[in-house]
C-alpha cells in the first residue's frame, strides 16, 4: 500500500471512526435517528418499568425473603444512574449507521464478571485488547468500529439446570456474583438480593475506570504500541500488530507534516460503551429512569442490553421489560429460531422499525448457520426490517473434555465467523459485527489458536473462568485479523499484508 493511500485512509477513516471524540460521557442533549413511517402494529399493553412483573419470568432467582428484594430495589432506585440517556442515544446513532452498512459492532468481555477478580489491571487489560482489535478492524476494514464492552454489569448467567449435585450433595446452581456465590456451600449458594447492591458499586467503579482510560490519554493513538499485552508481545499476533502500528505511525507523521493537528481529541480519546444481558429484572427495573430531555425511559445500568436465547419468549417478562426502554437492544438467536418467530420478536422490540434499535446476535455453529441464516435474512429483507446482524461464534461451539473442562474450539469459532461472512456475501447483506467472550488475561480456556495452539492438556494451566471459557488476548487478535480481511473482501478492497 502506498504511503499516500495509507494517509488518505487514516484521515478519512481512522480519525473519524476509531477515536472519535468521546461524546458519550457528556450529559448534553444529543441527536436522535430519524424514524421511518410507523408501520401498523398491534396495540401493546401499557408499559411501565414494573409491568414485567405481570408476566412469566424465565430464569428467575429464588430469593428467600421477598421483602428484602423490595428493600434493595428501593435502595438502588435512589442511586445515581450508571450511564446517561445522552450516551445511550450516541450509541443508538452509531448503530443506525452500522445498520446501513457504515460501521461494525465489536462487543467483547468476560463471560461473567466476578467480585473476586475485580481490579484496575483486569479492566485495563480487557479494554486495551478491545482497542487493539478496533484498530485492526478500522485500519483493515476501512470502516468505523463501535466498541462495546461486556463490562460493568455482566454478572448474571442463565443456567440449564436450577440445581447442581456434587458427591451426592445438591445445591442451587451458581447464577453469577450478583445472585449467589460460586463456592459450593449452602451459605454461598443462597440467592442474596444484597449482591445486587455490590454489583452496582463494582459497575460504577468499572465505568469510572473505563471513562478515564477512554478520555484521559490511554487511548491516544501515539500510544498504540503500548496497548500490546506483555504475554502477546512476543507472539506472531504481537508482531502483526507492531507491523500495523508502524504503518499507522507513518501515516500520522505524514499528517503532521501537512499541517493536520494530531494532538486534538479525535486522536487522543475514543468512544466506549457497555452492555450486558438483561437477565436480573429487579436490578434492571431499579436502574430505569425517565429522561428529562425526551420523556423516554432508559435502563441506566448499561448503554445496551440484550435478551438471551433462553429468555426471549414473546409472552414472557424479559421481552415485556425491554420493549419499553429506549436503549439499543440485542436478541440472541440459535438455529431453533424460525422466520415467523424472528419477525414477531422484531415487531415486539422495534415496532416502529427504527434503525439502530435492534441487533440480531446469531449463535448457531458453522454448519447450522449456513443452513439456517439465509432464510432468516430473506424473511427480514422481505418485510423491510431494519436490524444489525452480528455473529456470536463462541456460544455454539462449547463442549466438555474427557477431563471435565468446559472449553471451546478456536478452529470452530473461526469457522463460524467465516460462515457468517460467507452467508452475508451470498445474500448481499452487511455482516455488522461480532460478539466475543474474551479477556486480556493469559488464560488457557479455549483450545487451539493460530500460534498459541492450546491443547486439552494445557487447559489446567490457567483455567480461571467463573463460568464459560474465554478467548485470551492472542486468540482475540487472531480473530481481529481474520475479521479485518473479510471486511475488506466484503467491500471489494484489495488485500493487506499485516
Query: For position 25, what pLDDT does the model report?
Result: 36
The stretches of 405-492 forming alpha helices (DSSP H) are: 410-427, 473-490
On the 0-12 / 13-18 / 19+ scale of CB atoms within 10 A, 437 is buried
Per-residue pLDDT, 30? 30
Grid coordinates standing for 381?
429483507
pLDDT at 41: 45
pLDDT tens sequence for the chain (498 residues):
444 343 434 444 444 444 443 433 333 333 333 333 344 445 568 999 999 999 999 999 999 999 999 999 999 999 999 999 999 999 999 999 999 999 999 999 998 999 999 999 999 999 999 999 999 999 888 899 999 999 999 999 998 899 999 999 999 999 999 999 999 999 999 999 999 999 999 999 999 999 999 999 888 887 777 776 555 555 666 677 777 778 888 888 888 888 888 887 778 899 999 999 999 999 999 999 999 999 999 999 999 999 999 999 999 999 999 999 999 999 999 999 999 999 999 999 999 999 999 999 999 999 999 999 999 999 999 999 999 999 999 988 887 888 878 888 899 999 999 999 999 999 999 999 999 999 888 887 887 886 567 877 777 788 778 778 888 888 898 899 999 999 998 888 887 776
Predicted local distance difference test score (pLDDT) of residue 236: 65
pLDDT (0 to 100) of residue 384: 97
> What stretch of H or E contains 317?
helix 317-323
Distance CA 106, CA 145 (A): 7
Distance (Å, rounded) from C-alpha 126 to C-alpha 441?
8
In 10-80, alpha helices (H): 66-77
Which residue has 445515581 as its cell numbers?
80
- For position 232, what pLDDT does the model report? 57
Position 252 scores a pLDDT of: 81
Query: Could you tell me if residue 18 is left (phi over 0), alpha (psi between -120 and 50 degrees) or otherwise beta?
Result: alpha
Beta-carbon neighbour count of residue 48 at 10 Å? 14
Q: How many CB atoms lie within 10 A of CB 247?
A: 18
Distance CA 483, CA 434 (A): 9
CA distances from residue 48 to 81, 128, 285, 472 in whole angstroms, order as listed: 18, 38, 9, 41
Number of other residues whose CB lies within 10 A of the CB of residue 259: 6
Identify the pLDDT of residue 498: 63
Q: Which of 361, 388, 358, 351 is nearest to 47 (CA)?
A: 351
Query: Which pLDDT score is estimated for 33?
Result: 33
Answer whether 0.85 is exceeded by the pTM. yes
Residue given cell 440445581 in the structure block: 163
Q: How far is CA 103 from CA 88, 98, 356, 389, 446, in A?
A: 17, 4, 11, 12, 28
**What are the Cα distances from residue 307, in Å, to 194, 283, 350, 443?**
24, 15, 14, 28
Please name the residue that has the C-alpha cell 448534553: 28
The per-residue pLDDT for 214 is 95
List, in sequence order, every residue forming a beta bridge with 437; answer none if it has no partner.
109
Amino acid at each position: 500500500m502506498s504511503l499516500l493511500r495509507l494517509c488518505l485512509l487514516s484521515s478519512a477513516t481512522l480519525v473519524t471512526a476509531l477515536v472519535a471524540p468521546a461524546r458519550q460521557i457528556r450529559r448534553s442533549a444529543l441527536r436522535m435517528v430519524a424514524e421511518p413511517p410507523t408501520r401498523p402494529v398491534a396495540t401493546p399493553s401499557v408499559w411501565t418499568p414494573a409491568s414485567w412483573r405481570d408476566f412469566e419470568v424465565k430464569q428467575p432467582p429464588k430469593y428467600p425473603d421477598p421483602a428484602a428484594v423490595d428493600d434493595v430495589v428501593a435502595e438502588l432506585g435512589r442511586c445515581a444512574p450508571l450511564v446517561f440517556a445522552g450516551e445511550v442515544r450516541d450509541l443508538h446513532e452509531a448503530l443506525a449507521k452500522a445498520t446501513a452498512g457504515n460501521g461494525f459492532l465489536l462487543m467483547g468481555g468476560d463471560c461473567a464478571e466476578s467480585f473476586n477478580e475485580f481490579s484496575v489491571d483486569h479492566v485495563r487489560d480487557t479494554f486495551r485488547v478491545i482497542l487493539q482489535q478496533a484498530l485492526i478492524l478500522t485500519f483493515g476494514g476501512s470502516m468505523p468500529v463501535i466498541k462495546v464492552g461486556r463490562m460493568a454489569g455482566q454478572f448474571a448467567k442463565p443456567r440449564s439446570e436450577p440445581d447442581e449435585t456434587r458427591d451426592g450433595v445438591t445445591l442451587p446452581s451458581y447464577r453469577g456474583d450478583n445472585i449467589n456465590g460460586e463456592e459450593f456451600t449452602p451459605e454461598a449458594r443462597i440467592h442474596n438480593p444484597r449482591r445486587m447492591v455490590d454489583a452496582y458499586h463494582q459497575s460504577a467503579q468499572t465505568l469510572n475506570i473505563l471513562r478515564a482510560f477512554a478520555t484521559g490519554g490511554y487511548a491516544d493513538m501515539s500510544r498504540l504500541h503500548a496497548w500490546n499485552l506483555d504475554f502477546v508481545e512476543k507472539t506472531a499476533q504481537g508482531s502483526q500488530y507492531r507491523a500495523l502500528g508502524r504503518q499507522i505511525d507513518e501515516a500520522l507523521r505524514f499528517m503532521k507534516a501537512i499541517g493536520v493537528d494530531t494532538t486534538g481529541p479525535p486522536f487522543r480519546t475514543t468512544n466506549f460503551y457497555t452492555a450486558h444481558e438483561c437477565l436480573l429484572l429487579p436490578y434492571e427495573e431499579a436502574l430505569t429512569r425517565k429522561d428529562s430531555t425526551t420523556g423516554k425511559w432508559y435502563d441506566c445500568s448499561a448503554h445496551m442490553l440484550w435478551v438471551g436465547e433462553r429468555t426471549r419468549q414473546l409472552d414472557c417478562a424479559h421481552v415485556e421489560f425491554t420493549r419499553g426502554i429506549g436503549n439499543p437492544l440485542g436478541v440472541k438467536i440459535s438455529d431453533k429460531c424460525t422466520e415467523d418467530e424472528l419477525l414477531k420478536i422484531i415487531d415486539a422490540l422495534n415496532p416502529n422499525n427504527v434503525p439502530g434499535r435492534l441487533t440480531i446476535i446469531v449463535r448457531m455453529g458453522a454448519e447450522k448457520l449456513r443452513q439456517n441464516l439465509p432464510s432468516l435474512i430473506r424473511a427480514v429483507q422481505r418485510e423491510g426490517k431494519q436490524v444489525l446482524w452480528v455473529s456470536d461464534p463462541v456460544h455454539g461451539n462449547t463442549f466438555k473434555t474427557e477431563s471435565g473442562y468446559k472449553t471451546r474450539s478456536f478452529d470452530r469459532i473461526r469457522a463460524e465467523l467465516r460462515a457468517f461472512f460467507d452467508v452475508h456475501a451470498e445474500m448481499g447483506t452487511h455482516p455488522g459485527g461480532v460478539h466475543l467472550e474474551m479477556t486480556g488475561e493469559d488464560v488457557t480456556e479455549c483450545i487451539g489458536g493460530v500460534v498459541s495452539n492450546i491443547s486439552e492438556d494445557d487447559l489446567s494451566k490457567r483455567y480461571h473462568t467463573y463460568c464459560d471459557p474465554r478467548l485470551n488476548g492472542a486468540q482475540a487478535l487472531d480473530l481481529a485479523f481474520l475479521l479485518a480481511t473479510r471486511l475488506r473482501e466484503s467491500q471489494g478492497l484489495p488485500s493487506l499484508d499485516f
